[in-house]
A and B are shown apart, each in its own frame.
Chain A
């Protein structure tokens, strides 16, 4: 587009009453019309509606708009929508800018219309100032490898792998256990239909084993992930099985093995040998040797019984760990969940009283293929219990013991379990102690009703403690029947603790390898809780099953198919465009010092010593902008987040009342998203903060902070992802270093360093963000006129070059 006169159109959205409820949108639009380069400013009810978009398109043509600003919700929600609108009207999408007056204004200042309106004006002014400096840009295209990686071989991973493989894509399924099957393989029956769990899962497992498009890597772990959407380079560590795939699973080896160990699959209630197969339906069926148990250590053969017993000569003690390198375009994370360990609760005596077991142990006890052949026996005397109690919410819904959230599956699982007992031993007295019974799904209420009809007694009120009768090993449960306002003391033969689900321990590793975010409960965070529920915020990565939140089998399978479809869409296209937010270098200013090459997390900048200049590999660039912040000579800047644009935003904020304002730089992925979350949750905080979005806090150059202070700002906040959670590998470590150095500088110049704050806040930590602003408000109130003047003076130099 030929650069002539800049003509900006501004659209102030009411979002029904979401914005108009606390912001005077008409006044904001009127104000916008007075800003430089604005040729048109309108307010309307729903800008994102078809009519709203059509209006923008029409205006672009009729009024020859060459920049568009929409003041509405978060750009994290509708920036793509409006960019497309602009493109449809022939305007380059990088000429669009958004002012977030909903999540970061109307929703967080619900009760102060005047202040919210003033803030909205400022936000629009900032957006207009940036818009005037926007440049059109073309995006580069990157090819997508048409192969996928699925991490985790539970029912979710199995379903996702099968769907992708059936679509025609090559799939690598990585499972850390010796067999796929996950939690579902260990459960006896499923609710609400009471199907045999392994009977419906086993055929799918076997499909995975035989599928020509699936490469199954069991006993394996992902150890390294590099690259980006469409082009991930993955390293998988395949641990040795010590049994070759020639194994026919005849089992002669295990028969002669002299070593015994607890069987993990049966929750330790049964035994296995050092050479074993986890369970009858295991896929692959190939046996495995547990080297922690086997007598042959470090390749020294002291026992060769299994070797002799194996007709196929499949046993190979020389097997070594292998590192397999994969190149995939998409990744599905289906790592599942752990179960809560109730031994931390002293009042329930799990681990101390033999007849207190967990719901997972119960599943193995009631399973015909389990250690007791499906006979429900209590551990103390191997007798069939006459009276059984289930305790709900063990490890769930508690900020004291376990987790704050509801684990979703335990209510129905208990109801199912109670019916299984009634089916076999109808005379058993069954008590279920609960707080709320959540029978919300299809067919759930029917099952609940059936349990009540069968005589299962539901008592509202959790036992405070379990006391064991030392002679009989019977158990006393003491608590309050809250519906009758009476205390109870119930005597039973066996107690089943309905344990909740929690994030896998290994999820920390996966989070780090894939730079994912987690919600406050510790499960992985989806890109949007409603509209992109299986996408990770990081491109090309998707979630399935309990990795995202506790869910039952049906929901896990549904989500798995959704994740497969989402990954499939990307791979079907075969290419993806990379946002044009890469660095721009000015050769005339570059001194070839090489600082930028050192801070780039992707090694996307190289120094050409001969030509004394740097070279940028755009496809490898992640777009964090930390190189631009590092350059001491203004020889580098970032497309769409240029120095001029950011400085213009700072100037717009500080034009009036700077001494009362907080200039906040927030990274797109965590801090900005966290501020959005504060809005979604309607957390209220002081209205004097103005947020400037950068992709990464690593983009925040010291000169931006200097400029804010030079312009008289009361305080500055730099906010990013928690160290270790950075979406650009480690770029935020540079943020930390720069801010720390800045503090030193402030101290040296006699300035109160409290006026510059550094915050790590994840996308889920809205309250953390809000309370930081509240805290900073008290700092702002204390900053004196003199202090403002002296910081203006100290950073005077930063005023040049605007």
Chain B
């Protein structure tokens, strides 16, 4: 039975409980055991712009905690996955960098040894649980549903660190996971383009235009929902969707679901159990259709 240290990050506790709730529900049912981090700090990602060494050391501290537990990390957030995984790989490969960071860690009595791995939720589902087991767990296939996916940059790029075999030019990992639920996953233009959220703190026009263009492309293929694997991207498309609609005077009304919410529905969990009520864009029509399709 796969056992992981779950790494929540900052955005999820701050705003997006529904991602956490649905992920825990689904993983429990799929026999993935989750252990809480005994102590936590931000993965470091937001600090990279200020000081790369700070980011590396913050990330490495979390890695050391996991090493002590002798458990691999499961990250729900792409940003956390990116900084933890990249730091882990860089420190394993680059002796000089490792010595530098270990120099810092010494001050808090820790040492990076390079004994664990970091995975994103999607990797754990695809690699540890496996497609067959997920397929078996799907009790109510969402056969009449057509959705689109947004993997998010940091489980795709930079390709040399991400690993796990997905192709950033033509991502299939999340698509294949979506297809297991019985839903159709539509191709659309520029699927692996950035959502824009990382710079929303310094500028709103550019990220809004980026997200709007993505929503345009998603609407063009008539997707009934957008499925994300990253809380940060989710915020951009769900929480900010009404603001984007106002800014461009357009109506999208595209519900945005966290992947484990979609999978959870197919596995027979109720919308409430999966925290669907938390979504800003209400998936009413979608749920009606799913319920309708059931009868």
Direct contact of A and B (CB under 8 A): yes
Binary contact track A467-492/B, C-beta < 8 Å → 1, others 0: 10000000000000000000000000
**Chain A residues closer than 8 Å to B70, beta-carbon distance:** none
Task: Give A346 to B167 CA distance when docked, in angstroms.
Answer: 11
Asked if B169 lies at the interface with its beta carbon under 8 angstroms from chain A, I say yes
B interface list, Cβ under 8 A from A: 169-170, 189
Provide the bound-state CA to CA distance between A346 and B170, in Å. Answer: 8
Instruction: Kindly list chain B residues whose C-beta atoms are within 8 Å of the C-beta of A467.
Output: 189
Interface residues of A in 343-364 (CB under 8 A from B): 346-347
What residues on B are CB-neighbors of A347 within 8 Å? 169
**Residue of B whose beta carbon sits closest to that of A347:** B169
B212 to chain A, nearest CB (A): 18
The distance from the CB of B104 to the nearest CB of chain A, in whole angstroms, is 22
Closest chain A residue, CB of each to CB of B170 = A346
- Smallest CB gap from A778: residue in B: B95
Docked Cα-Cα span, A678 to B189, in Å, equals 47
Q: How far is the CA of A467 from the CA of B190 in the complex (A)?
A: 10
User: Which chain B residue lies CB-closest to A465?
Assistant: B190
Q: How many residues of A contact B (CB 8 A)?
A: 3
Residues of A that sit less than 8 Å from B by CB: 346-347, 467
User: How near does chain A come to B206, taking the closest CB pair, in angstroms?
Assistant: 14
Write out the residue numbers on chain A whose beta carbons fall within 8 Å of the beta carbon of B170.
346
Shortest C-beta distance, B157 to chain A (Å), equals 12
Question: Cα distance A600–B169 when bound, in Å?
Answer: 52
CA distance A467 to B169 in the complex (A): 14
- Cβ of A775 to closest chain B Cβ, rounded Å: 10
Would you give the shortest CB distance from B78 to chain A, in whole angstroms? 22
Docked complex Cα distance between A65 and B170 (Å):
73
Chain A minimum-CB-distance residue to B189? A467
> What's the least CB distance linking A468 to chain B, in Å?
11
- Complex CA gap A347/B169 in Å reads 8
- State A606–B170 Cα separation when bound (angstroms): 61
Q: In the complex, what distance in Å separates the CA atom of A347 from the CA atom of B189?
A: 12
| Complex-state Cα separation, A143 to B189, whole angstroms | 69
Residue of A nearest to B169 (CB): A346
Q: Which residue of A lies closest to B159 (CB)?
A: A400
Instruction: Give A333 to B189 CA distance when docked, in angstroms.
Output: 48
Q: How long is the Cα–Cα vector from A347 to B170 in the complex, in angstroms?
A: 10
Nearest 4 pairs of A and B residues by beta carbon? A346-B169, A346-B170, A347-B169, A467-B189
State how many angstroms separate the Cβ of B167 from the closest Cβ of chain A: 8
A455–B170 Cα distance when bound, in Å, is 38
With a cutoff of 8 Å between Cβ atoms, the chain A residues found around residue B189 in the complex are 467
Distance in Å from the Cβ of B93 to the closest Cβ of chain A? 14
Complex CA distance for A436 and B169, rounded to whole angstroms: 26
The contact sample of 4 A-B pairs, CB cut-off 8 A, is A346-B169, A346-B170, A347-B169, A467-B189
Closest to B168 in A: A346
Residues of B within 8 A of A346 (CB): 169-170
Residue of B nearest to A345 (CB): B169
CB-based nearest A residue for B167: A346
Which residues of A lie under 8 Å from residue B169 when comparing CB positions?
346-347
A289 to B169, CA, bound (A): 42
From A467, which residue of chain B is reached at the shortest CB distance?
A: B189
CB distance from A329 to the nearest CB of B (A): 50
B215 CB, nearest partner CB in chain A, Å: 18
Least distance between B139 CB and chain A CB atoms (Å): 37
A467 to B170, CA, bound (A): 15
CA distance A346 to B192 in the complex (A): 13
User: Closest CB of chain A to B159's CB: distance in Å?
Assistant: 9
Considering only CB atoms, which chain B residue lies closest to A400 in the complex? B159
CA distance A347 to B191 in the complex (A): 13
User: How far is the CB of B271 from the nearest CB of chain A, in Å?
Assistant: 37
Q: How far is the CB of A655 from chain B (nearest CB, A)?
A: 33
CB of A567, distance to nearest CB on chain B (Å) = 46
Q: How far is the CA of A467 from the CA of B189 in the complex (A)?
A: 10
A346 to B171, alpha carbons, bound, how many Å? Answer: 12
Give, as a whole number of angstroms, the nearest-CB distance from B161 to chain A: 15
CB distance from A553 to the nearest CB of B (A): 36
A463 to chain B, nearest CB (A): 15
Q: How distant is B147 from chain A, measured CB to nearest CB, in Å?
A: 22
Tell me the bound Cα distance from A765 to B176 in angstroms. Answer: 42
A384 to B43, CA, bound (A): 57
CB B262 to nearest CB in A, in angstroms, measures 27
Kindly state the separation between the CA atoms of A574 and B108 in the bound complex, as whole angstroms: 78
B158–chain A nearest beta-carbon distance, Å: 11
Determine the distance from Cα of A373 to Cα of B215 in the docked complex, in whole angstroms. 47
Q: Taking the nearest CB of chain B, how far is it from the CB of A346, in angstroms?
A: 4
Name the distance in Å between B151's Cβ and chain A's nearest Cβ.
16
A213 CB, nearest partner CB in chain B, Å = 54
How far apart are the CA atoms of A119 and B115 in the complex, in Å? 41
What is the bound-complex CA distance between A240 and B167, given in angstroms?
44
Give the shortest distance, in Å, between A609 (CB) and chain B (any CB).
57
How far is A464 from B31 in the complex, measured between Cα atoms in Å? 44
State how many angstroms separate the Cβ of A110 from the closest Cβ of chain B: 22
CA A347 to CA B192, docked complex, whole Å: 12
For residue A478, give the distance in angstroms from its CB to the closest CB of chain B: 11
B280 CB to nearest A CB, Å: 32
Nearest CB of chain B from residue A686's CB, rounded to whole Å: 16
Query: Within the assembled complex, what's the spacing in Å between the Cα atoms of A346 and B172?
Result: 14
Compute how far the CA of A167 lies from the CA of B36 in the bound complex, rounded to whole angstroms.
Answer: 83
CA separation between A597 and B189, bound complex, in Å? 67
The answer for the CA separation of A170 and B149 in the assembled complex, in Å, is 67
Residue of A nearest to B95 (CB): A778
Docked pose: A590 CA to B170 CA in angstroms = 67
How far is A30 from B189 in the complex, measured between Cα atoms in Å?
Answer: 75
With both chains docked as a complex, state the minimum distance between the C-beta of A251 and any C-beta of chain B, in angstroms.
Answer: 46
